[in-house]
Every structure is written in structure tokens, then in C-alpha cells.
């Protein structure tokens, strides 16, 4: 085995062992006396108004998915920002094309009514 892998295996062992030992130690130390009152959902000191397993509309999930998609796409701007000086005008043109496609996607989603909550 190449000696370059030794630090990797040590790091892997520590990464597995530390959380495991922490969870075991916490389980041994913490008090455990569950009761019906303790297991109730707590929200700002007010009794829960309804069941926490309520239904959500599909529109909520569509907006969540749109947020994730557009958020992940904007993360692709980081490599461009890091290499901005190296790319020059070609990089500016490429990011303009990328942002144009992103904006067209936003406009399309808006026209389809995906951002309407009601």
C-alpha cells in the first residue's frame, strides 16, 4: 500500500470514530424519562393547532424544486468568478449566455404561474 494513503485512512477512522463515540457518550450521560407531555410537539409555548402530518399543496413542492434548481445553477457562477481574469471577454460572454438562459427559465416559470402561492 502506498504510504500516501495512510493519512487518508487515519482521517477516515477519526471521521467514523469521533461521531460514534460522541453519540454513545451522549446516550450514556443524558437523562431519559420520556412521557406523553415530553413527546408532544412544542412550538413557541402554544399547543399545536392541528396535526403535524397535514397536507401541502403541490404548488409548495413546485416552488421548492424551482428554488433548488435555480439556486444550484447560480452556484455554477463561483468557478467563473474564480477564473474571471483568466477567461477574459470569452468568460464574460459565456456567463452572459448562462444568465440569459437562467432568466428565460425564470420568465417561463412566472408565465406558467409557478410562483403563485394561492
| Residue 42 resides in a domain | yes
The domain total for the chain is: 1
| Residue 73 resides in a domain | yes
Asked whether the beta carbons of 70 and 104 are under 8 A apart, the reply is no
CATH of the domain at 59: 1.20.58.1610
Residue 16 has pLDDT above 90, yes or no: yes
Asked whether the beta carbons of 66 and 114 are under 8 A apart, the reply is yes
Model confidence pLDDT, tens digit, residues 24-34: 999 999 888 88
Asked whether the beta carbons of 52 and 40 are under 8 A apart, the reply is no
The residue range of the domain holding 97 is 3-48+55-112
| Residue 19 resides in a domain | yes
Q: What is the reported pLDDT for 83?
A: 86
| Residue 118 resides in a domain | no
| Residue 88 resides in a domain | yes
Neighbour tally for 111: CB within 10 Å: 9
Enumerate residues 6+ apart whose C-beta is below 8 A from 80.
87, 91, 94, 95, 98
Higher pLDDT, 116 or 109: 109
Please list the alpha-helical segments (H only) found in the chain.
6-29, 58-75, 77-82, 84-112
| Residue 24 resides in a domain | yes
Query: pLDDT category, 117, cuts 50, 70, 90?
Result: low
Amino acid at each position: 500500500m502506498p504510504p500516501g494513503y495512510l493519512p487518508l485512512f487515519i482521517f477516515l477512522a477519526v471521521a467514523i470514530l469521533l461521531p460514534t463515540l460522541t453519540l454513545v457518550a451522549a446516550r450514556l450521560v443524558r437523562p431519559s424519562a420520556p412521557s406523553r407531555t415530553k413527546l408532544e410537539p412544542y412550538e413557541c409555548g402554544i399547543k399545536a393547532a392541528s396535526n403535524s402530518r397535514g397536507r401541502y399543496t403541490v404548488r409548495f413542492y413546485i416552488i421548492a424544486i424551482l428554488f433548488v434548481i435555480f439556486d444550484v445553477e447560480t452556484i455554477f457562477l463561483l468557478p467563473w468568478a474564480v477564473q474571471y481574469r483568466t477567461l477574459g471577454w470569452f468568460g464574460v460572454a459565456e456567463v452572459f449566455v448562462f444568465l440569459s438562459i437562467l432568466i428565460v427559465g425564470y420568465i417561463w416559470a412566472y408565465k406558467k404561474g409557478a410562483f403563485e402561492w394561492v
